[in-house]
Chains A and B, each alone.
Chain A
């Protein structure tokens, strides 16, 4: 039976037209960039959508595809990509290909030699002044042409797009944000480190307004697959297993490249004492935190729901509204407020109770504090769902049990609670999974501290996820490969626990019907 009304037909035509329009809009940049693979995917997807929605078959797919497309593009693909980096040494010093590493080594060894060309230079960025990619705008002293240089090389800018003073200072350039002296000096280290590769060396900055083109001291030679320093004579030979150039005395060059390292990252988690030791402790605390947060909020929420589950309580609705307020407050902000309330010197908690406890300075008080904060943030939600579930339980059941001579406690234990658990188990599992990876709860309060004196990489309140974040993006430098390996560990753990729990509750869920 298919008899879609005129309205339905019109909506369908409009939506498909919109998809086609978006596809055409998206195709132009792909063609300009000659990204044929991307264009192929785009064409195939659009054709597939047209086939699916113009035909009459595959009805379930019509409903599942829209969400699934987003899921594949922004969830599954990034996750698979992340998982694949777990088998590599991807991270600081091992970001790109060997060719890029060689170019970086040569460019960063550039020194100024007599006769080097000097340029007037202006520092700019693409995008935001504080975080955008740096670009050196240099003016050729011979013909006044302006070039934009970044770590991939130089490109000439059309004369119409830039405004240059007689002194060679660029005052405006289309598509670039020019940095003033303050902004530039804030990033001076990056500017100093930036080397723009050129045919016979590289361009580097002197201060913030001059640049020179110098000659590379270190050169790569294909025959020996090594890098030689022409001044000192040191030779670093490529080690393709480690992805770096190593000298005879074991010295490694900073710039390496990405190589597959097999299961090294995974074995490192298990064998490296400085990691496996705290890892087990962190894992145990992670479970304690997730169970404590979920269980605590559930018990407190249920207690309040039970207390207000009676017509005799006057002002029930007012109580409910006030109880739920924490749930409406923005949690990221309230976490920061709680952090300040636990402050030793002028925190509200110590002031109010007349204490001088250094809450975040000791392991156990810090752990207690973060669970307490989660309790406050989470119990209104549990109160809400428990209230709903209680209202869904027929009154006759509890009445029947009291006629049979059960006291209220027994009636609750034997009748109400089992029924509640049936209804709320899926939500409890979801809450457990959320808390297991509750990054904000730790990062915005204790930041993982307090840290033991001998190991600043993992603290007493660190969850696996905050620990991983520090490994991947922390101050000690990025180690994406290793972080990805730990991510896979975390994922496997949570997934197995959740899958097992769900299988156990499947008799109550119509999953397999």
Chain B
């Protein structure tokens, strides 16, 4: 390769590799650090370097033996799985109405959805606490320390930015589709379930993933809501690990972090076919 072609290569392709490599390094170094802490036999923060110095499954063993990690994991999966599924369903119903029907209050409804979501739910936590104190007295099954109560609370935020994303996606589908189906005698429910939902699968996947990630990471409300060790989610339980004994529990915490990432990565892999196209086509008018 002579010098001129090299310069050309650098200008066309080389810089791309350089940027990508730097970005990958930036992305990976904290993750490598967590990995190295998780397999660090000593399991303390002060003895952990960027690259693993030894390898042992000790932290993972301690994680399952000394903490209720399995419990938290199950709780988190249950809550995040069901809540994201339900919220995607509720959102898609509303998005269909906003996209395909004309009714009084449609514009106001769309804008207020956006604005209401901007009031952070946790600032209302005092009110939520009082409301749920009453609910716990009346119906303990959906009160404090139950996954069902927390799920209901999360569904309060089901209609929001997600509805907007989906509506944009619905807007890109040609109207001729539902019109011809209606001509053939399909009811609005059949149009929605049989024709629209399969076509909007990409955006359902994306909003599902976003909702799943947000729910897994929700810490504040869950922290107020779940006080029983039995009922805790991953975010609440793992925060407790490093709240006090930070240095000593760091290895266990890192092991837990890696395991917590697994469901998200799996959901991501499962939906990856749709994700890139789904994320933006909703906001572009096709």
The chain A residue with its CB closest to the CB of B46 is A346
Given contacts A66-B90, A307-B19, A328-B261, contact A336 B227 (CB under 8 A): no
User: Judging by beta carbons under 8 Å apart, are A322 and B164 in contact?
Assistant: no
A389 to B192, CA, bound (A): 27
A residues contacting B by CB (< 8 A) are: 1-5, 8, 26, 29-30, 33, 35, 38, 59-60, 63-64, 66-68, 70-71, 73-79, 81-82, 85, 90, 127-128, 130-132, 300, 303-304, 307-308, 310, 312-313, 319, 322-334, 336-338, 340-341, 343, 345-346, 348, 351-352, 376, 380, 384-385, 387-389, 391-392, 422-427, 430, 433, 437, 439-440, 444, 465, 468-469, 472, 480, 483-484, 487, 490-491, 494-495, 498-499, 502, 508-512
With a cutoff of 8 Å between Cβ atoms, the chain B residues found around residue A352 in the complex are 50
Given contacts A128-B227, A326-B31, contact A337 B257 (CB under 8 A): yes
User: Judging by beta carbons under 8 Å apart, are A79 and B187 in contact?
Assistant: no
User: Judging by beta carbons under 8 Å apart, are A2 and B187 in contact?
Assistant: yes
With a cutoff of 8 Å between Cβ atoms, the chain B residues found around residue A348 in the complex are 33, 48-50
User: Judging by beta carbons under 8 Å apart, are B156 and A75 in contact?
Assistant: yes
With A1-B182, A308-B20, A512-B107 given, name 8 new contacts (CB 8 A): A70-B156, A78-B131, A85-B127, A127-B144, A308-B16, A329-B34, A340-B250, A424-B283
User: Judging by beta carbons under 8 Å apart, are A389 and B284 in contact?
Assistant: yes
Nearest 6 A/B pairs, CB to CB:
A74-B156, A78-B124, A63-B97, A388-B280, A67-B90, A81-B127
Q: List 24 A-B contacts (CB under 8 A).
A: A4-B187, A5-B190, A60-B97, A68-B94, A68-B159, A71-B159, A74-B157, A75-B119, A128-B145, A304-B20, A307-B23, A322-B27, A327-B213, A330-B217, A330-B235, A330-B260, A345-B46, A352-B50, A389-B284, A391-B277, A392-B280, A422-B284, A426-B168, A499-B115
Pick from A128, A384, A468 the residue with the most CB of B within 10 Å: A128
Given contacts A325-B28, A389-B280, contact A71 B156 (CB under 8 A): yes
B residues contacting A by CB (< 8 A) are: 12-13, 15-17, 19-20, 23-24, 26-28, 30-31, 33-34, 45-46, 48-50, 90-91, 93-94, 96-97, 101, 103, 106-107, 109-111, 114-124, 126-128, 130-131, 137-139, 144-145, 152-153, 155-159, 161, 163-164, 168, 171, 182, 185-190, 192, 213, 216-217, 219-220, 227-229, 234-235, 238-239, 242, 246, 250, 253-254, 256-257, 260-261, 264-265, 268, 275-281, 283-285
Given contacts A67-B158, A387-B276, A426-B283, contact A330 B264 (CB under 8 A): yes
Given contacts A439-B120, A480-B126, contact A427 B283 (CB under 8 A): yes
Q: How many A-B residue pairs have CB under 8 A?
A: 299
User: Judging by beta carbons under 8 Å apart, are A127 and B227 in contact?
Assistant: yes
With a cutoff of 8 Å between Cβ atoms, the chain B residues found around residue A511 in the complex are 107, 110-111
The chain B residue with its CB closest to the CB of A82 is B124
User: Judging by beta carbons under 8 Å apart, are A312 and B12 in contact?
Assistant: yes
User: Judging by beta carbons under 8 Å apart, are A384 and B30 in contact?
Assistant: no
Task: For the complex formed, measure the closest distance between the CB of B125 and the CB atoms of chain A, giving whole angstroms.
Answer: 8
User: Judging by beta carbons under 8 Å apart, are A307 and B16 in contact?
Assistant: yes
User: Judging by beta carbons under 8 Å apart, are A4 and B189 in contact?
Assistant: yes
User: Judging by beta carbons under 8 Å apart, are B138 and A437 in contact?
Assistant: no
Partner of A341, one of B23, B30, B106, B188: B30
With a cutoff of 8 Å between Cβ atoms, the chain A residues found around residue B155 in the complex are 70, 74
A8 to B186, CA, bound (A): 11
With a cutoff of 8 Å between Cβ atoms, the chain B residues found around residue A385 in the complex are 279-280
Task: For the complex formed, measure the closest distance between the CB of B255 and the CB atoms of chain A, giving whole angstroms.
Answer: 11
A412 to B143, CA, bound (A): 54
Pick from A78, A131, A331, A437 the residue with the most CB of B within 10 Å: A78
Mostly, the A contact residues are: helix
With a cutoff of 8 Å between Cβ atoms, the chain A residues found around residue B120 in the complex are 437, 439, 465, 487, 490
User: Judging by beta carbons under 8 Å apart, are A336 and B217 in contact?
Assistant: no
A68 to B113, CA, bound (A): 10
User: Judging by beta carbons under 8 Å apart, are B238 and A312 in contact?
Assistant: no
Partner of B119, one of A79, A388, A425, A468: A79
User: Judging by beta carbons under 8 Å apart, are B23 and A323 in contact?
Assistant: yes
With a cutoff of 8 Å between Cβ atoms, the chain A residues found around residue B101 in the complex are 59-60, 63
Given contacts A78-B128, A376-B30, contact A491 B119 (CB under 8 A): yes
User: Judging by beta carbons under 8 Å apart, are B256 and A333 in contact?
Assistant: yes
User: Judging by beta carbons under 8 Å apart, are B45 and A310 in contact?
Assistant: no
With a cutoff of 8 Å between Cβ atoms, the chain B residues found around residue A322 in the complex are 24, 27-28
With a cutoff of 8 Å between Cβ atoms, the chain B residues found around residue A425 in the complex are 283
User: Judging by beta carbons under 8 Å apart, are B187 and A333 in contact?
Assistant: no
The chain A residue with its CB closest to the CB of B235 is A332
Task: For the complex formed, measure the closest distance between the CB of B15 and the CB atoms of chain A, giving whole angstroms.
Answer: 7
Given contacts A8-B187, A313-B16, A330-B216, contact A29 B264 (CB under 8 A): no
A430 to B163, CA, bound (A): 13
A323 to B279, CA, bound (A): 17
A35 to B23, CA, bound (A): 59
Given contacts A307-B16, A333-B238, contact A498 B118 (CB under 8 A): yes
Task: For the complex formed, measure the closest distance between the CB of B59 and the CB atoms of chain A, giving whole angstroms.
Answer: 14
Given contacts A422-B284, A426-B283, A484-B123, contact A433 B118 (CB under 8 A): yes
The chain A residue with its CB closest to the CB of B184 is A1
User: Judging by beta carbons under 8 Å apart, are B115 and A319 in contact?
Assistant: no
With a cutoff of 8 Å between Cβ atoms, the chain B residues found around residue A384 in the complex are 275-276, 279
User: Judging by beta carbons under 8 Å apart, are A388 and B219 in contact?
Assistant: no
A13 to B110, CA, bound (A): 31
Partner of B189, one of A8, A70, A331, A422: A8
Task: For the complex formed, measure the closest distance between the CB of B160 and the CB atoms of chain A, giving whole angstroms.
Answer: 9
With a cutoff of 8 Å between Cβ atoms, the chain B residues found around residue A328 in the complex are 261, 264-265, 268
Given contacts A70-B152, A128-B228, A322-B24, contact A332 B219 (CB under 8 A): yes
Task: For the complex formed, measure the closest distance between the CB of A151 and the CB atoms of chain B, giving whole angstroms.
Answer: 14
